Structure 1
C-alpha cells in the first residue's frame, strides 16, 4: 500500500537521525517497522494524520516518539484504564516521564499530575475522553505546553464502528480549541465508512492516511460448525493450547460464567470477566490474566481493548461477533509477539438468527440497521467461505493478498469438499415455503427427514409432499445446508416470527433451477488436528529474536523466573519488564558483556542500567553450569 510521501530535507535527515537515536536509546529498538518512520517524521514536523495499523503493529511508537521529539507533553486520549496503566508502567521502565488522568486517581493524586503537567515535568499524559472534554481539563491543557494529541482507538468516534462510544463525540473540541497542535488518530480496524467519520469528527480533512497491511500471518484462522460448543472448546484448548494464555468470547454473562466453570472443571485455569461481576473481582481476574502465565479469561466483548499482553496464544469465539471489524479486533489480541497463534470460532445458524433479531429490534435508525445487517452478512460470508479465509478477511479491508492461498487457515490447510447443492437447496426451500414460512430450523428438519413429532402432526405437515423427502441427509447436514443458504441470501430469518426462516427473492431462481448452488460438505469434528505443526507459510514471524538460533532451555527458564520475580517486586506485568522476544533474544545470543546485551532488541539505556548486570550474571551462570 502507498503512503503519503514526505519530502526529505537536510533538516528532515537530521530529524530522522534523532528519531532513530531516541528509538534505540529509549525503546531499545534498532530500526523502524513499516510506515512508522514516515508517521513519526510527519507528526514531529507538526502534521495531522490518521493511522490504521493492526494490533501489535507498533501504533504506540507513532505518537510516543514524536511526543519525546517535540517540545511539550503529548496528550494521549484513551478509553482504556488497563492500557493507560500498562503503557505508563512500560514507559517508566524505559525512563520516560509519563502519567495518567482518569477515574482511578484520588483528588490529591490528580492534582499532583496537573501540577507536573504545568511545570513541564511530563513527556506523555494519558487522559480518559470524558475527562478531557470537561471545562476544567480543557482550561488546564490551554495553560500547558502541548506537543501533540493522540486519539487512540479512534474507531470509537464512529457510530458505524464496532465499538461506538458517545464520549468520543466530544473530542471534536480538540481541533477547535487547539488547531495548531498536531493530531494523530489511531485504530486497528476501520472500513471506509468508519474512516470517513473519524476524519470528519476529528477535523482531519486533507490529512494523510497511513494504512498498514492488515495481515497477521502468525494467526491461524479456523471456523468450525457449532455442535456442542463447550465440548469443542475444551478439546481445542486441551489438544492444542494446554498451558497457554487465551481469551474466550461469549455473548452473554451467564454463558461466560458457565464456560469458565466448565473449563476449570476440565483442569484449565479459567476466569470469568463481565460487567455483572463486582469491580474488585473483575480487576483481580484481569490482573491475574495479565501477570500470570497460562491463564484463560472467559469474557464478554467488554474485555480486551487495551490489553497489551503479547503472549496470548489463542482467541476463541463461542458466539458470532457483530462484524468483521469486531472479529478482527478481537482475534488480533492473539500473537502480538509475532509467534504462532490461533483464532478459533464455533458458529451456527442460531448465531445469525440471534444477531439479525438484535439488529432489527434495536432502537437504531433504519440506516444504522441497514449498515449493521450488511456488516453481519459480510461476517457470515467469511464464516461460510470455502476459499482462503485470510484472503476474504483482508479483502473486506480493501487489501489483496499476494498469494491465492495463505497456507495458514483451516480452508487452506484442509480444503473443504464442495458439491452441487441445487437439489438439496430446492428441497429445503420448498419445505420452508409449503410449511408457511413460519417455522424454524428444527421443525423444518423434522419435516424433511420424516420425523413424526407432535408439532408436525399438529400442523398436518406429515401430509405435505415435502414430508420425508430429505432422508438422505442427517440433522447436522441439514443444519449446515440451512446455514449456507442463509449466508448465500436465499433464506433469511423472519424479524416478526422468532426463529422462522423465510424465502428471499433470490430463492425463486434456485427453485427454478436457474441459480447455481454450491454447498460445502460437512466433515466430522475439527479439520485441523495440530495447531503446533509447522505452518506451510514461509513468512511467519520467527519464534524468537535470536536470528534463528534456539535459546538454551535452562537459560530461558532462569530468565523467565528472574523476570517474574522482578515484575512482582515492581508491581508490573512481566512483559513490561522484558517482552518474550527480548528474553528469547538473550537466550539465543547469550551476551557476556553489557555492550553485547545492549544490542538485543528491547534493551534500551534505562533497562540496561536497571537490569544489565543481573542479566549478564544469569547468562554467565548458565555457561558455567552454576
Structure 2
C-alpha cells in the first residue's frame, strides 16, 4: 500500500492508506483527511471491514466508489481464495447506493461467475480485455540441476536485473537465496515463517534497490507493482494455471522484454499429486485441485504454442506467438506406446506377482537392468521386464513417467510414499488399443537473447541510459522511494533515445507528466546535456 500511495502522490493524486503498520497518530491524520474530503483514493485491506471503527468511519465519509482489487480472491474456484474477501458483502449491504467495481488480472469464466455471485454484481456490466502479455517470453524446461539452470538464466540473460524466484517450501526459499548470494547475486528470502520486520525490510529493499532478486513462496507478490521485474522463475510446479499466470504477470509490467521461466520435473508431479491425496479437503476440493493441476500439466507438456494454451485457458483464442520456447524450438511428438507398455507392465507384474508398489526411481532401475542392492534383495532381476528398457536413458524414462502421470495413465498411490499405480485408462494402453503420444525435448536450446532493460537500445544510447539509471537511483535514495516512482525504465529508454534538450521536448516522452516534469525536468536535461556532445 505504501508504495502504491507513493507512486500516486508522485503523479499528483491525493492518496493514502489505513492499515496495521501505522501508529495511532498516522491513522488519525488519514481519517481526518478522508472526512474532510481531502483524499481522492484510500486503500483498505478487506480485514479492516471486520472492525466497527472502520465501518463507522466509512459511514461518515463521502464515498464515490468502492473498488475491489484482486477480486479473484473471493472465488473458491480461483487460485488464491481468501476468506476475508467474503466479508466484502458488507459493501452492498451497508452502503447499497455506492457504486462498486471488481477488478482482477486473471480469472476464468468460472471464477468470474463466482465473483459476480458473491459480490452481488449480477446487474453489473463485465469488461474482459486481452489476457495476453506479449512482452513476456514463456519457457518451461525439464528440471535437471535447478539451481545451476537458474544461475544460467540470470547470468546469461538477466545480469543485474530485478527478478522473483518462486519456490514451494520455506526451506527451499532460504536454501536458494543463500546459494544465489554465495554466487554473488544479491538475493533475499521472503516467506510467511520469517519475522514480520524481516519480511518488511526485504520487501522494501526489493522495491527500492535495482537488481535485487527476491526468492519467495507465493506469500509474496499480491499488490507488488514494481514495473522493472525482468524475470519470474519457478523452481517448483505451480498448483494452477491461474496462479502461474498471476505470478508470471509480475514480470515486465513496463512493457519491456521479460522472461517467465519454469523448471519442471517428475518429482514435481508426484509431490503435487501426493499433496492433493493427503489434503484434509473434501472430495469436491480434491477434485478441483486435481483439475487445476491437470491444466497446469497440460501446459507443461504441450507441443503447441504455450501462449495459445495459456490464453485458451482464460477463454481467449490466439495464433502462435513466436515468442515462447515451443515456437522458437518446436518439440517433437513421438510414439511412446511401447515404452509406456513396458513401464505399465512392470507396475502390474510387481503388484500382481509380488503385491509390491514402488516409486519411479526403482521402476526405471528395473527397466534399465541395473544391478542395485534393492533389486538383488527383492529379486527383481527375475521379472520379465527386467532390462527391457535400455533403448532410453534414465532422463528419458523420467520424462515418460512424468508424461504418463500428466495424461492420467499413471497415478500416485495414496499410501503417502509416492509409489505409482496404474489407472483405469492404462488398460487400453496395455492391450494396444490406445497409442501414447509423448513430447521429446528439442536437442537445440531456445535462442536466448539478452533481455535486460536496455538490451534493445542502440549502442549509442546505452551510456545515456545507464547515466539516467544512476541519477534515478540517487534521487530515489534521497527521497526514500522505489526507483520506478521517479521514472520507470521505459521512460528512461525514451529519454535516452530522443535526447531531449528542452522541457518541451522532454514532456513528449511517455511517462513524463506535468508533475514529474516540474520535479525532475531540469535535472534530467542536465544529465542528458552532460552525456550528449553539443551539436
Is the pair's TM-score, using the shorter chain for normalization, greater than 0.5?
yes
Distance 2:522 2:367 in 1: 74
Q: Per the alignment, in what secondary structure is the counterpart of residue 187 of structure 1?
A: coil
| TM superposition shift of 1:418 | 2.2
Farther-moved stretch of structure 1 (281-290 vs 215-224): 281-290
Is 2:480 the partner of 1:571? yes
Q: Alpha-carbon deviation of 1:624?
A: 4.4
Change (3 A) 1:497 1:362: closer
Shift of 1:360: 2.1
Cα drift, residue 369 of structure 1: 1.1
Matches within 5 A, 1:159-178: 159-178=76-95
Identify which of 408, 412, 419 aligns with 2:323: 408
Give 3-state SS (helix, strand or coil) of 1:105's partner: coil
Q: Secondary structure at the match of 2:127?
A: strand
Aligned to 1:53: none
Kept in 2: contact 1:248–1:316 (CA 8 A): yes
Change (3 A) 1:623 1:463: closer
What is the aligned partner in structure 1 of residue 393 from structure 2?
474
Q: Secondary structure at the match of 1:344?
A: strand
Unaligned runs of 5+ in 1: 1-83, 535-540
Provide, for residues 69-126 of structure 1, a one-character-per-residue CA deviation record: whole Å limited to 9, x for no partner: xxxxxxxxxxxxxxx1111001111111111000111112111111111111111100
**Which of residues 355, 368, 372 in structure 2 aligns to 1:453?**
372
| Counterpart among 430, 433, 450 of residue 532 in structure 1 | 450
Q: Can you list the C-alpha shifts for 1:322-370, whole angstroms capped at 9, x where unaligned? A: 1000110111111111111111111111111111221222222211110
Once the two structures are superposed, the pairs formed by residues 34-183 of structure 1 within 5 Å of their partners are 84-183=1-100
- Tell me, yes or no, if structure 1 residue 510 matches structure 2 residue 429: yes
Q: How far apart, in 1, do the equivalents of 2:253 and 2:413 lie? A: 40
1:527 positional shift: 2.3
* Matches of 2:533 and 2:136, distance apart in 1: 38
Residues 156 and 164, structure 1, Cα contact 8 Å, conserved in 2: yes
Query: Which of 405, 415, 424 is the matching residue for 1:496?
Result: 415
For the residue of structure 2 that corresponds to 1:271, the secondary structure is strand
Match of 1:288 in 2: 205
Cα separation, 1, equivalents of 2:530 and 2:460: 15
Is residue 338–residue 542 contact of structure 1 (8 Å, CA) maintained in 2? no
Aligned residue number for residue 322 of structure 1? 239
In 1, the alpha carbon distance for the partners of 2:164 and 2:212 equals 9
1:252–1:385 Cα change, 3 Å:
same
Q: Give, in whole Å, the separation in 2 of the partners of 1:522 and 1:481.
A: 12
Indicate conservation of the 8 Å contact 1:551/1:584, yes or no. no
The aligned counterpart of 1:20 is none
Structure 1 length as normaliser, TM-score? Answer: 0.82
- Between 615-624 and 275-284, the greater mean CA deviation after superposition: 615-624
**Counterpart of 1:233 in 2: which secondary structure?**
helix
Which one of the candidate residues 120, 127, 135 is aligned to 1:203? Answer: 120
**Which string of whole-angstrom CA distances, capped at 9 and with x for unpartnered residues, describes residues 121-143 of structure 1?**
11110011111332211111111
CA contact (8 A) 1:342 1:531 kept: no
CA contact 1:477–1:522 (8 Å) conserved in 2: no
Relative to the length of structure 2, the TM-score reads 0.95
Query: Does structure 1 conserve the Cα–Cα contact (< 8 Å) formed by 2:329 and 2:442?
Result: no
Preserved contact between residue 441 and residue 482 of structure 1 (Cα < 8 Å): yes
- Inter-partner Cα distance in structure 1 for 2:428 and 2:454: 50
2:343 paired with 1:428: yes
The correspondence of residues 537-548 of structure 1 with structure 2, limited to 5 A, is none
State the Cα distance separating 1:551 from its structure 2 match: 6.8
2:498 maps to 589
Q: Which runs of structure 2 are paired with 1:179-578 in the superposition (5 Å)?
A: 179-401=96-318, 403=319, 405-436=320-351, 438-522=357-441, 527-532=445-450, 552-578=461-487
Query: How far, CA to CA, are the matches of 1:624 and 1:576 in structure 2?
Result: 29
Offset at residue 271 of structure 1 (A): 1.6
The superposition leaves residues 274-319 of structure 1 with CA deviations (integer Å, 9 ceiling, x where unpaired) of 1222222222222221112211111111112211111111111110
Offset at 1:542?
A: 11
1:552, 1:587 within 8 Å by CA — same for their partners in 2?
yes
Matched residues, number: 531
CA distance in structure 1 between the partners assigned to 2:281 and 2:132 by the alignment: 32
Q: Once the 2 structures are TM-superposed, how far is the Cα of residue 175 of structure 1 from its aligned partner?
A: 1.0
State the Cα RMSD in Å: 2.1
